[in-house]
Amino acid sequence: MSRDKTQTNEARAAATELRLSHLWLWPNVMSLVRIVLTIPIIYCLTKDPQAYTTAALILLIAAAATDFLDGYLARRLDQQTAMGLILDPVADKLLAIAILIGLIFTREFPLWAAALIIGRDLLIMFAGLLLARRLPQVPPSDALGKYYFSIVAALLISYLVRFSFGQTIFMVATLTLLAASSLNYFYSFLRLMRTGKSSQLGNHPVVVWLLRIGFWALVVWGLWRLLI
């Protein structure tokens, strides 16, 4: 019994320790792939022919898929590490910021909306650095944050393919989840600084259920309008 408890404590300690060797675990490789894909996506955005737009779309969908795969593989392979907790959100934010800047110059993406999205990401990264100095482990992104990133990805795709209806509905959804997730992160940050415990509101079953239904309803609605 004592031995099992010791092994469990050692496993937890390994999971909270930042190790360079963890960079090559499959979940973290998915995050690295997401960062690398930023380069060809931006390159394709700067080109006019339709073939480049199609290539950028495929690459962006592939990048979004890696965001699902890194979390799935981390749970499936029991490879949740401190490196992954840092690398996953950093990859998300680098991808979103780089593509937003590209869309501002190539697809007339609203500068004010880009400023809000980028500003939120930078504030969260700054808050994460503050927490990392005070806590042994920074909590991972919750479901609210993950669905926010998915909605932002849908918004970027809409601007990439110049789908005006998608631009409208996903912009509204992005701003709604931006406000909700920012308030949730702010509350969780204060709670972590005071008690060391994060808010579980973003992972509440009712919240997750509403996010899932809302997200897929918007995707189906958007695809229906795109195809008719």
Contact 188, 196 (CB under 8 A): no
Structure tokens at 60: 């962006």
Residue 145 forms part of a structural domain: yes
Distance between CA atoms of residues 193 and 12, nearest Å: 22
Contact 16, 137 (CB under 8 A): yes
Residue 210 forms part of a structural domain: yes
Q: Which domain holds residue 223?
A: 131-228
3-state class (DSSP) for residue 131: helix
Contact 96, 90 (CB under 8 A): no
- Domain check: are 21 and 81 in the same one? yes
pLDDT along the chain (228 residues), means of 10: 43 56 86 93 89 92 87 84 83 90 93 95 84 72 87 92 95 96 89 81 91 95 90
pLDDT of residue 211: 95
Distance between CA atoms of residues 91 and 36, nearest Å: 9
pLDDT of residue 16: 53
Residue 113 forms part of a structural domain: no
- Domain check: are 51 and 145 in the same one? no
The total of structural domains in the chain comes to 2
- Domain check: are 144 and 203 in the same one? yes
What amino acid is encoded at 205 in this protein?
P
- Domain check: are 186 and 100 in the same one? no
- Domain check: are 52 and 102 in the same one? yes
- Domain check: are 100 and 150 in the same one? no
Residue 124 forms part of a structural domain: no
pLDDT of residue 12: 47
Q: What is the pTM of this model?
A: 0.83
Residue 123 forms part of a structural domain: no
